[in-house]
Chains A and B, each alone.
Chain A
Amino acid sequence: MAKTENPVVGKIKDVAQGIYDKIRKVKAPDIEMPIRSLNNVEYNSKEGYFKLLNKVKSRTLTASTIRTFAQTLRMMSLSKDLVETDDIATKREAYYVSKNWGEARFREQPESDTVMDDIEAMMGVNREQIGFIPEEKGGAIAGELIVIDKDDEGKRLEIDCTKFGSGAYSIPSSVEELSFKTKAKFILAIETSGMFERLHKHNYWKDANCILISMGGVPTRACRRFIRKLADEKNLPVYVFTDGDPYGFGSIYRTLKVGSGNAAHINEFFCVPQAQFIGITPQDIIDYKLPTHPLKEVDVKKIKDLIKNDPFIIHHKAWQDALQDMAKMKVRAEQQALAKHGLNFVSEKYLPDKMKNRKTWLP
């Protein structure tokens, strides 16, 4: 008795069948998929994430699109095989599989990543559901948390994140099956691993009874999903601690909280709407007299772009004001700049002060 067909496989077959039927009628077939960009999302403050609108792009088969068309179909075929055999391939592996496709092979991995994202959006599912996983690790965790996972034989494993000494637990690429035990009071998501190390070293998580997560730049999907799951299941507040620069605000915090344009079709699950921004704000630069760097040209451009085009920033007057202030001050400050007042200033003064005073947060 064949097992019931996976819905993803069904969808792939439907799309292929549609194309086949068109071809046999000697009509140019096309593939439709949602446009994945900030132009095609809206920010809904109630639901708290970037929601995909209904703009679609259609890839009609012509002489100039046939290469991508062929690659998309071959990638769908690969995805179908993976799902049917309950296997996975990393993005890099998928790229290498294509080297077996002769002329249709991908020249660079970004090409295969784009096609993969297209299929993902077309199917309206998460990449992992079509059998592909990313390379990158989700981030590092230290603090009052037990992650419940399984070993490869399916046996239950309890991983105590307090028991990694000076090291840290690393978020796996797929987090859907994990569950948690914790008595922590909040989650602190940190931009740089440098700051994470400092707080970890000084046992900040013990003193503040929290879970520290290092995002290492823009949080990966796994990291976002992990934080979301953890925060939802354990009903924990999430605080985000980044550099005081347009990248920290607009790329790292924004993506964590409401998702991205590129992954708009899955933002619903890969965002953390409960996240709150606790630093470093332009006001902090003034209040704490932090050492600064001048804004670079790209920073200025990014600020303008955020104010003009980012639906999240547009929705929040407070963010627009903060960005305007930064543009006027013409400076940015890094998390580590707090060390000006002593290495422990951040854990002993800055963070406790921030936690107490909601007014210093940004939405």
Chain B
Amino acid sequence: MEQRTAEELAKKARDISISEFFEKNRHLLGFDNPRKALLIAVKEAVDNALDACEEARILPEVNVELIQLEESRFRMIVEDNGPGIIKAQIPKIFAKLLYGSKFHKLSSTRGQQGIGISAALLYGQLTTGKPAIITSKTANGKKANLLKLKINTSTNSPDIIQEEETDWEGKEHGTKIEIDMEGNYIKGRQSVDEYLKETAIVNPHATIIYTNPEAEQIIFPRAVEVLPPEAKEIQPHPYGVELGRLMRMLETTAASTLQQFLTTEFVRVGPGTAKEICANSSLLPNMKPKNISRELAESLHKGIQKTKIIAPPTDCISPITDAQLEKGLRKEINAEFYCASTRPPSVYRGNPFIIEAGLAYGGEQEADGPIRIMRFANRVPLLYQQGACAITSAIQNTMWRNYGLQQSKNSLPMGPCTVVVHMTSVWVPFTSESKEALAHYPEIVKEIKLALQEIGRKLASFVNKKRRIGEEAKKRGYIEKYIPHVAEALKDIIGFDEIQKKKVEDDLAEILEHTRGELEQVGVDNPDYDEEFAKIGQEENGEEEADDFGETKKKKRKDDDSDEDNDKSDNDGSDDDSEDEEKPSKKRKGSKQTKLMDDGED
């Protein structure tokens, strides 16, 4: 056998472009099968759209459309009302992997690495050979730019196939992306439908209009008119920095002394703390950062851990807030009871984070199976790897039996209930690159459990009240049901007439009922829920109505109505009627009867 020299072998080795790498390893980004690919593409596009709107402080309105072109080929169109993108940036943002504004900063935005949407483009290009079409308009009066883009995988750079200027009539500003790709559309737990529904729950400030491949349009209207506070950028906290990163920071810093380096590159480090760190690391504060060797960096890293440093500021992360999370649940799930809870900020490894939990109980939800879990990280639904997620194990290890749900040891509780858990952080620790499950940091698990306990206690008081009232009502029903039988039997045995029988019945009613007080009422506590607006997961009833009214309009009407109610409460009925008539329908094509929550599969 002919031997080869090292030199010969070396000739074969060459740089691998990141694009080439993902071309071969697309599963690392979630594009492992056609079904999931479709979902991930929508997810990346919607994440980008929402981030863009929020960064520009615009209330998002995102239009998602899936068109089935062939058996296994789909066109995805996602359009937002964001600020638009200037022409020069479009190719890089969409057709170059690892290009982005968010990778180098710490903030709780949805996207982080600048991979997602380019990966979707790459996937489309790989499976159909077609370029993606991006249209973007930055202001009224300006022309929109339309670009057809491909990624050159060997150089990881954009190829512009075609570019032109167009009028995008009726659009003030925004971006539209169209990608053709291989896919498989199904409904159920891990579907685009579910993803968008869950997105709507945790983004109650966004309106999402979704047209599925069956040409049914579903509107998830916004429930609140305020944007969440802007995600602030923060510098890293010393506790969260790993040695390699610390060394890189030392190399690239502009600071001239170690003390300056510590105070300028990190949050929560003032001159005092910096000196303390130096002392704990046996280093001099006036050393030049560039001169710090690997060994010295290591002792600096250890010194940091020894020093007591205040926790990072937490105003850099913004929770959905319990009130808004509850609103999100109310509009999308028809239940009897809702509650939500936002924990105070906490810190793991120098990264601030907030856990929020909410639940919807009862109503039309499945009572026999395990509860439904919705997991979120930075307002993004997590649909895969439920079993590997810290949220799931925290739910399993919470004693739900105390809160009125059935549960066998260390498994998911059973009952008509949806539990939502949201983690927001400048750095969400995922178990893998595909970002589908939260890692089990003890601080995080503890916070999740505390949040679950808070909502659990609220649930327990509702469930108990409901049971009490249920029992009371049952007893009352009993009384009414059986009094005639007692009277009838006595009449048969003793042989008296109907008049006496009636007297016996009246006396019995008095005997039995004077001991019981007024019956409390527990109604469905959800004025916000609108059947028409939360179709997902339910049988649709196919009414054909005009589609011109948005949620904004409807909300306004409701407010008007309630104002009026104060003045003339006798007019209730007619108000309701008129509202019903004007209630916007979400469906254009109502003929198809579909059930969106078919069995999902993995």
Contact = CB atoms under 8 A, between A and B. Distances in A.
B478 A64 contact: yes
Given A19-B490, A20-B494, A61 B512 contact: yes
Given A24-B507, A74-B485, A62 B493 contact: no
Interface string B515-536: 1100000000000000000000
B483 interface: yes
Interface in A85-112: 101-104
A73 B485 contact: yes
Contacts of A13: 493-494
B88 interface: no
Given A13-B493, A19-B490, A76-B493, A67 B511 contact: no
Given A23-B504, A62-B512, A66-B512, A103 B490 contact: no
Given A67-B478, A70-B485, A77 B511 contact: no
B479 interface: yes
Given A23-B508, A24-B503, A12 B482 contact: no
Contacts of B507: 23-24, 26
B476 interface: yes
A13 B503 CA distance: 19
A314 interface: no
A70 B486 contact: yes
A63 B479 contact: yes
Given A12-B493, A24-B503, A26-B507, A64 B475 contact: yes
A45 to B, nearest CB: 41
Interface string B480-494: 011101101110111
B481 A103 contact: yes
Q: Give the one of B482, B508, B512 with max A CB within 10 A.
A: B482
Contacts, number: 82
B510 interface: yes
Chain B at the A interface: SS class: helix
Interface residues of A, number: 30
B554 to A, nearest CB: 45
A12 B489 CA distance: 11
Given A26-B511, A63-B516, A67-B478, A17 B494 contact: yes
Given A20-B494, A63-B478, A66-B478, A77 B512 contact: no
Contact of B485 (A23, A24, A81, A103): A103
A70 B488 CA distance: 9
B479 A16 contact: no
Contacts of B512: 28, 61-63, 66
Contacts of B496: 20
A13 B496 CA distance: 12
A69 interface: yes
A27 interface: yes
B562 to A, nearest CB: 40
Contacts of B488: 74
Contact of A66 (B486, B492, B510, B516): B486
Interface string A16-36: 110110011011100000000
Interface in B451-491: 475-476, 478-479, 481-483, 485-486, 488-490
A25 to B, nearest CB: 8
Nearest to B516: A63
B493 A61 contact: no
B493 A69 contact: no
A19 B491 CA distance: 11
Contacts of B479: 63, 66
A51 interface: no
A28 B515 CA distance: 11
A61 B486 CA distance: 10
A221 interface: no
Contacts of B486: 61, 66, 69-70, 73
A69 B482 contact: yes
Nearest to A27: B511
Interface string A46-83: 00000000000000011110110111011011001100
A20 B478 contact: no
Contact of B490 (A16, A26, A27, A28): A16
A19 B507 CA distance: 12
A80 to B, nearest CB: 6
Contacts of B476: 63
Nearest to A79: B493
Contacts of B483: 66
Interface string B530-550: 000000000000000000000
A28 B476 CA distance: 16
Given A63-B475, A63-B479, A66-B482, A77 B503 contact: no
Interface in A192-246: none
A102 B485 CA distance: 9
B489 A77 contact: yes
Nearest to A9: B493
Nearest to B492: A77
A73 B501 CA distance: 14
B494 A73 contact: no
A63 B481 CA distance: 11
Given A16-B493, A20-B494, 7 more contacts: A12-B493, A13-B494, A63-B479, A70-B489, A81-B492, A103-B485, A104-B481
Interface of B: 475-476, 478-479, 481-483, 485-486, 488-490, 492-494, 496, 503-504, 507-508, 510-512, 515-516
30 contacts: A12-B493, A13-B493, A16-B490, A16-B493, A17-B494, A19-B490, A20-B490, A23-B508, A26-B507, A61-B511, A62-B515, A63-B478, A63-B512, A64-B478, A66-B479, A66-B483, A66-B486, A69-B482, A69-B486, A70-B482, A71-B485, A73-B485, A73-B486, A73-B489, A74-B492, A76-B493, A77-B489, A81-B492, A103-B482, A104-B485
